[in-house]
């Protein structure tokens, strides 16, 4: 019994002397738990990130549509396909009298959440604003799907 008591006293002195800490096994167990939780959460986080980018593109397209409507009210027409979205931030020479912009700041520099410019086309009474999604190709599903007004 004295040996056990002596060993406990020696262990207590070591702990009090600053040698206390986690064992390698405890650290590995904690690390394994962190890796497990991260591997379970990562796909969900990435799914939400993709959805957030698509939602951001939808919101940007709606904002561009609003700016185009203001342009239409002032100029009685939409910008032509040739003028593009740049007409929302810089007036063309024939619109100097009616133009009351800028309707969007640096409209020609607006890019979708994937870094590509929005596609714009117009005819006499309708406009089409679109993004090709993450893959930059027509068609697709999920985050790769085309987004338009």
pLDDT band with cut points at 50, 70 and 90 for residue 105: confident
- Cis amide leading into 85 (omega within 30): no
Return the structure tokens found at 40. 């379970």
The domain limits of the chain are 50-149
Least Cα distance to 107 among 92, 88, 91 occurs for: 88
Using one digit for the tens of pLDDT, what is the confidence trace for 27-84?
A: 899 999 998 888 887 777 777 766 788 888 889 999 999 999 999 988 888 888 888 8
For residue 6, what pLDDT is reported? 64
Q: Taking the domain 50-149, which CATH number applies?
A: 3.30.700.10
By CB atoms closer than 10 A (0-12, 13-18, 19+), residue 6 is exposed
Sheet bearing 127-131, strands edge to edge: 119-122, 127-131, 147-148
Flag whether pLDDT at 5 surpasses 70. Answer: no
């Amino acid at each position: 019994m004295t040996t056990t008591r002596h060993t406990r006293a020696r262990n207590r002195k070591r702990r009090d002397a600053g040698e206390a800490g986690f064992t390698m096994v405890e650290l590995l167990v904690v690390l394994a738990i962190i890796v497990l939780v991260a591997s379970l959460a990562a796909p969900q986080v990435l799914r939400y990130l993709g959805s957030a980018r698509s939602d951001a593109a939808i919101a940007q397209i709606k904002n561009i549509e609003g700016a185009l409507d203001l342009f239409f009210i002032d100029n009685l027409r939409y910008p032509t396909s040739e003028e593009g979205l740049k007409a929302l931030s810089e007036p063309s020479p024939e619109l100097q009298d009616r133009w009351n912009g800028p309707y969007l700041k640096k409209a020609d520099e607006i890019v979708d959440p994937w870094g590509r410019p929005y596609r714009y086309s117009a005819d006499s009474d309708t406009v089409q604003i679109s993004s090709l999604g993450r893959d930059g190709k027509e068609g697709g599903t999920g985050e790769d799907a085309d987004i338009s007004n």
